[in-house]
A and B are shown apart, each in its own frame.
Chain A
Amino acid sequence: MNVRAVLAPVAVGVGALVLWEAFVRLGEVAPYVLPAPSAIFTELVENFGTITETGLASGTNTLVGLVVGTVCALLAALAATRFTGLGEVSMPLVAALNALPIIALAPILNNMFESTSSIPRRTVVALAVFFPVFLNTLRGLREVDPTHTELMDSYAAGPWAFNRHVRLPGALPFFFTGLRQASSLAVIAAVVSEYFGGLQDGLGSRITSAAANTAYPRAWAFVAGACVLGLLFYAAALAIERLATPWKRSAA
């Protein structure tokens, strides 16, 4: 069963690559429309050093933004739970802000700082991360089983004990759902925000410059690098989640 769970998607993936290759070669598709996987792979090998280097820069931006955004979202969610009035006011506001495409702020932020600053991209990432983490965590913090409330009341437990034993652990799965969503968004934000200027040392800048120079297979190679970066962050978030919520793993 486990082997099948791994083999099936791999087989489908390889099959798709073969079909893609065949489609490009037999159909004589122009490379600016769609390059062949083999061409992309060649570029990937040739530019491996640059891809890792720029990937590292984008990865750092992602990580910093992810951490800052998550910490801010957690603090905000805790505050909104502690002060119910604040929660009531902030919920619709945050929902409205959430509808805003954060990436649209990138060019504005780029102009706010010097061109050598990494702050604009990291701010975009932090903003993109903030909303899913905040909304999910807040929902988790608010969703308390009434039986648990009565149980803790019957122990005459104070608010601190209640938060420590009931509210916070109960919100963990919700927080991690938010973090998983945020980890993918963070990579997208870090890469795409470079399309709009600012410091050009990440994957995004290479994708735009390669595409501008009609080096399409190279652009795709950097896109593949961004893919790997996204997967890395997602896998890391998943791994932390599994470590921190062992009861979810062992559920029958």
Chain B
Amino acid sequence: MIELSGVTKVFNPGRPDEVPAVAAGDLRVGAGEFVSLIGPSGCGKSTLLRLIADLLPPTAGTVTVAGKPAAQARKERRYGMVFQKAGLFDWRTVRRNVELPLELRGTGRSERRARAQEMLELVGLSDFAGHYPAQLSGGMQQRVSIARALADAPPLLLMDEPFGALDEMTRERLQGELLRICAATGTTVVFVTHSIDEAVFLSGRVVVMSARPGRVTEVVEIPLGERNEAVRQAPEFFEAVTEVRRALRAPKSEEAPEAAESPKNTSVPAQLEAS
């Protein structure tokens, strides 16, 4: 579903305030997979997600989404995106917010309405179709934004810390709902988070990143099988959490052992050459 090869991203290249944001190198995500990107803040995990979404152009390397260059995949709307802020339009009712991607595609009114209703049932908000976003709680707003991202039936869902601003209980409930929705729709998900528990509970694989430049240090397989609330208490769950925590604390990969200590600017050319 997603293929990154030799991808790097440098902000303000060639200027004194140059920032090497991502030197991710290669990464593959298969269809139907649920992959989390985890790492300390500033490690470029959100930047990496935006490279996949073609919201940022890579400095070097290629990004392929659903067998097409990322730019084309974006134009063909092959993915839906969910942000940390729900980003709903205050002036549209819940239903009309969910209809937005269909409206932009030029779908007819009755079909739009039916599809929005279906999506709202999926996220359990069909009773709130006529409400305005300001009347909903933060968790409900985020569910609406998931419904909006799925309205177009994209094969891929890109999520940037979608539950980051929610309280723990709402967060756990939405995690369960998200897994159910993805299983029902067969959607591939790339999920950015800084919560180890969240990454382990949701994902088949957890991609662990380190900062400056953001690079993939390790990919941890999570052998937990079918997820349900009981999994949160299972010994295997805690083992996987420990494994991811170890990977996060591990020293940087062998190729550039001093990357963490070396000043930003000097580590950039090395990265560019490496890719």
Contact = CB atoms under 8 A, between A and B. Distances in A.
Interface string B76-117: 010111010101011110000000110110000000000000
Contacts of A165: 89, 100, 103-104
A247 interface: yes
B132 A156 contact: no
B75 interface: yes
Nearest to B87: A147
Given A247-B132, A252-B134, A154 B89 contact: no
B91 A169 contact: yes
A155 interface: yes
B216 to A, nearest CB: 23
Contact of A148 (B87, B103, B132): B87
B264 interface: no
A156 B81 CA distance: 12
Q: How large is the interface on A (under 10, 10 to 19, 20 to 34, 35 or more residues)?
A: 20 to 34
Contacts of B89: 148, 165-166, 169-170
Interface string B122-136: 000000000111110
A150 to B, nearest CB: 6
B74 interface: yes
A245 B91 contact: yes
Interface residues of B, number: 25
A165 B79 CA distance: 20
B85 A155 contact: no
Contacts of B87: 145, 147-148, 150-151
B53 interface: yes
Interface in B52-85: 53, 55, 74-75, 77, 79-81, 83, 85
Contact of B91 (A150, A157, A170, A252): A170
Given A147-B85, A150-B81, A247-B132, A155 B104 contact: yes
A251 B91 contact: no
A250 B74 contact: no
Contact of A155 (B77, B132, B134): B77
Consensus secondary structure, chain A interface: helix
B134 A251 contact: yes
Given A155-B104, A161-B104, A247 B83 contact: no
B75 A156 contact: yes
B138 to A, nearest CB: 13
Interface in A126-157: 145, 147-148, 150-151, 153-157
Contacts of A151: 81, 83, 87
B270 to A, nearest CB: 31
Nearest to A249: B132
Interface string A160-173: 01000110011010
A170 B132 CA distance: 14
A153 B103 CA distance: 15
B101 A155 contact: yes
A155 B73 CA distance: 10
A246 B134 CA distance: 11
B146 to A, nearest CB: 13
Contacts of B90: 247
Contacts of B75: 156
B66 to A, nearest CB: 14
A150 B74 CA distance: 12
A240 to B, nearest CB: 15
Interface string A57-100: 00000000000000000000000000000000000000000000
Contacts of A156: 74-75, 77
Contacts of B74: 153-154, 156
A153 B55 contact: yes
A153 B85 CA distance: 16
A165 to B, nearest CB: 7
Contacts of B100: 155, 165
B91 A154 contact: no
B104 A157 contact: yes
Given A155-B77, A252-B134, 15 more contacts: A150-B50, A150-B55, A150-B81, A151-B83, A154-B55, A155-B104, A156-B74, A165-B100, A170-B89, A246-B132, A247-B90, A247-B133, A250-B131, A250-B132, A251-B134
24 contacts: A147-B87, A150-B55, A150-B81, A150-B87, A151-B83, A153-B55, A154-B53, A154-B79, A154-B81, A155-B101, A157-B104, A161-B104, A165-B100, A166-B89, A170-B89, A172-B91, A247-B90, A247-B91, A247-B92, A247-B133, A247-B134, A250-B131, A251-B135, A252-B135
Q: Which 8 A-B pairs have the closest CB atoms?
A: A147-B87, A251-B134, A247-B132, A154-B81, A169-B91, A156-B75, A147-B85, A252-B135
